[in-house]
Amino acid sequence: MAPAIEARHLTKVYRLYRRPVDSLLEMLLRRPRHTPFYALRDLSFTVSRGETVGIIGDNGAGKSTLLKIVAGTVRPTSGQIEVRVSAILELGVGFHPDLTGIENARLACALMGLGREETEAKLPAIAAFSELGDFLERPLKTYSSGMKVRLAFAIATSVDPDILIIDEALAVGDGYFQKKCIDRIEAFREGGKTLLFCSHSMYLVKQLCRRAIWLERGSLRMVGEAAEVVAAYQDALRRREAPSPPSGKPPPSGERLAWLEGIRLQPGSEVAFGQTLAIEIAVAHRNLPPDQLHVGLILFRNDGVECLGVSTQREGKRLAELGRNRLGIVLELPELQLLEGEYYGSLWLLDGTGLHVYDMVPRAFTFRVRQPEHLPALGLVWLPHRWRAP
């Protein structure tokens, strides 16, 4: 069976001019006076029939341009796309502000290929779903953005399209209407329809979509299972927003008296939720009293949120002898309760007071936690809880 959407090497280039007159001068003088802007660059992907796919990425990543190309309202500069689609692209796309809501509904149905009788048969369902009442007889220019969404969503979902594109429409509607929209989306999914869902709500993308496409500056950054792609995207956002790691700098010059020699993670850089994480720390020193060396550790999520801070000095623990002038200790985090995400740890080697810093490594190690699908929790950690009747 042929895919519902097949894109091959899509590229869209816009010409940016410093002044409006430059486009005319370019045409007359036959010399370039523009700067090319690549909204999309060599994009290839397929969407199977009956599949729900999320489109994610930063503002300006090319999401709306891609959806407009899929819907046929924008043509690619190069590449090919094969698709059959009825879509919501943006609020009010295809609507005329001077026409009433019901007139815009008739116009939209006609543009989607419906005949007069079929259109008139659809209007009661459109009116019922939109719940706009008397506003359907008023000009669209009197509508709020939320009312336009109601009308647009009612039209697109009432004509029973093979493919539905939703571009952030749910972000504008009120909570009640969002629930109606999500219920309609679920009905579309159960009916084997194909959906492209563009949203900044990673929760909705994970809940509604089987796969996700991550765009970055017009290029395909990642495509795969929705939960995996969303987790990678959120990790990238946190890394970008993370503050500089805290500092407690060791002496800048002279021969070091003690230093952090090695760090190893067990089972490795990827840990399953509920699994034990062991952090093995090795220390070397120059004939210092072993009981005067301590290790401090702070665990961060990769956006800089502190998860845990511990030290052997505060807890009265001693490092074990590993040989001549070498010490070591293992910090175990049994049944790790951290939720899905990327984390890092910073290490300090301290004296007996816990104040003097012999050595420090700001990002000594990183690891990723994989959350099981049967644990639909959000946030940083899993807290034991129960539900009961009041």
Tokens of 198: 């563009």
Q: Which helix (H) or strand (E) holds 56?
A: strand 52-56
Residue type, 177: F
Residue type, 301: R
What DSSP designation does 381 have?
Answer: B
Tokens of 173: 């509607």
Q: What is the per-residue pLDDT across 132-170, written as a single tens digit (0 to 9) for each?
A: 999 999 999 998 878 888 888 888 777 777 888 887 666
Reported for 183-192, long-range contacts at CB under 8 A and 24+ positions apart, including other chains, are: 184/129, 184/153, 184/157, 185/52, 188/157, 188/164, 189/50, 189/52, 192/49, 192/50
Are 197 and 55 a contacting pair, CB within 8 Å? yes
Q: What is the per-residue pLDDT across 92-102, written as a single tens digit (0 to 9) for each?
A: 566 888 999 99
Are 66 and 83 a contacting pair, CB within 8 Å? no
Query: What architecture is domain 258-370?
Result: Distorted Sandwich (2.70)
Does the structure show a pLDDT above 70 at 172?
Answer: no
Tokens of 267: 């089972």
Q: Which helix (H) or strand (E) holds 230?
A: helix 226-241
In 10 A of CB 332, how many CB atoms? Answer: 11
Q: How far apart are CA 363 and CA 366, in angstroms?
A: 7
Are 205 and 197 a contacting pair, CB within 8 Å? yes
Q: Is the dihedral of CA 344, 236, 227, 175 positive or negative?
A: positive
Give the strands of the sheet with 270-272, arranged side by side: 270-272, 357-370, 341-350, 294-301, 306-311
State percent of the chain over pLDDT 90.
44
pLDDT for 46: 93
What confidence tier does 220 reach under pLDDT thresholds 50, 70, 90? very high
pLDDT for 311: 93
Q: What is the DSSP string of 273-327?
A: TTS-EEEEEEEEESS--GGG-EEEEEEEETTS-EEEEEEHHHHT--PEEEETTEE
45 beta partners: 7
Does the structure show a pLDDT above 90 at 390?
Answer: yes
In 10 A of CB 4, how many CB atoms? Answer: 22
Q: What is the DSSP string of 96-154?
A: -TTSBHHHHHHHHHHHTT--HHHHHHHHHHHHHHHT-GGGGGSBGGG--HHHHHHHHHH
C-alpha neighbours within 13 Å on the C-beta side of residue 121:
7
pLDDT for 40: 94
Are 94 and 171 a contacting pair, CB within 8 Å? no
Q: How far apart are CA 163 and CA 67, in angstroms?
A: 12
Q: Which residues contact 325 (CB under 8 A, 6 or more apart)?
A: 284, 285, 286, 287
Of 321, 315, 367, 361, the residue nearest 344 (C-alpha)? 367
Q: What is the mean pLDDT of residues 77-101?
A: 74
Q: What is the mean pLDDT of the chain?
A: 86
What confidence tier does 312 reach under pLDDT thresholds 50, 70, 90? very high
Domain locations in the chain as residue ranges = 5-241, 258-370
Does the structure show a pLDDT above 60 at 89?
Answer: no
What confidence tier does 221 reach under pLDDT thresholds 50, 70, 90? very high
Predicted structure pTM score: 0.71
Question: Which of the four CATH numbers 3.30.70.890, 3.40.50.2300, 3.40.50.300, 3.40.640.10 does domain 5-241 have?
Answer: 3.40.50.300
